[in-house]
Amino acid sequence: MLKAKRFVSPENLLPGRMGYLVRRVKKRLGNITRKFLEEGFEGVANRVAFHYRWSREFHKRDAEFDRSLGVDTKGPVGLWYLRIESDNVRDAIRYEGVNPLIFRQALREVHDDFEGFTFVDLGCGKGRALLLANEFRFSQLIGVEFAPELAAVARSNCHRAAVQATVLSQDAAQFPFPAGNIVVYLYNPFGPTVLNLVLDHLLESRHAKCYIVYINPVHRQQCFDTRPHLQYVAGETGYAIWAVTAVH
């Protein structure tokens, strides 16, 4: 009996960065086409106007944050421009600096003493979350970033702001989580394929206490809600928080 061959999208056969660029363009064109079919020229025009206003506020916020600390965490930065060796770039999301207000609000929802915790930022980009996490008195700050250029900027930013942090130029899917109490932080850095690998790895590790703080949790349903060892703690529209319960 012949088995049906699984269809493989052409862009998934392209090398990492080229495939990423093709998928980004395809998605953007698809969004514009769908908006046009649903709402016509007016819908597309409104979408363009909204994006312009959002972009202006986004860049203003970035500039104010960077100026306050003398750093460079501005975004967005498309992955097409970066030297990334990992094939997981197919599942990656471009870098953007987190909104400081949302970050601080999410961390305060954990309601624990962070002095005995390690903060782990997976997909740390230019390191803005590391700079913000320094306000919460973590015992250790670790950033993991698979784009060497962004990792170098993150190290420079931490040095400029006198923040003691370790920034590793490494794929998050291969990162060995440290022992002890940890907070794992994600700002929608990658899609469900890599995210599920990371969560599997995390749940195989042993920790006294472990929280996951997920900003912009677009893959929550696919990756989090069906896992019995993740206990939902708190959340709002822009973030969700879980505590890891005993696995062994």
Q: How far is the CA of 223 from the CAs of 22, 99, 113, 190, 200, in angstroms? A: 25, 23, 27, 12, 10
Chain-wide mean pLDDT for the chain? 84
Using the Cα atoms of residue 185, residue 104, residue 207 and residue 150 in order, give the sign of their dihedral: positive
- Set out the domains of the chain in order of their start, with CATH numbers: 98-244 (3.40.50.150)
Which pLDDT value is given to residue 12?
Answer: 47
Residue with tokens 């784009």: 147
- 103 close to 134: Cβ distance less than 8 angstroms: no
pTM of this structure = 0.79
State the CB neighbour count (10 A cutoff) for residue 185. Answer: 27
Determine the Cα–Cα distance for residues 36 and 45; give it in Å rounded to an integer.
9
pLDDT single digits (tens) 198-213 = 999 999 987 889 999 9
pLDDT at 5 over 90: no
| Interstrand relation of 239-244 and 210-215 (parallel, antiparallel or unpaired) | antiparallel
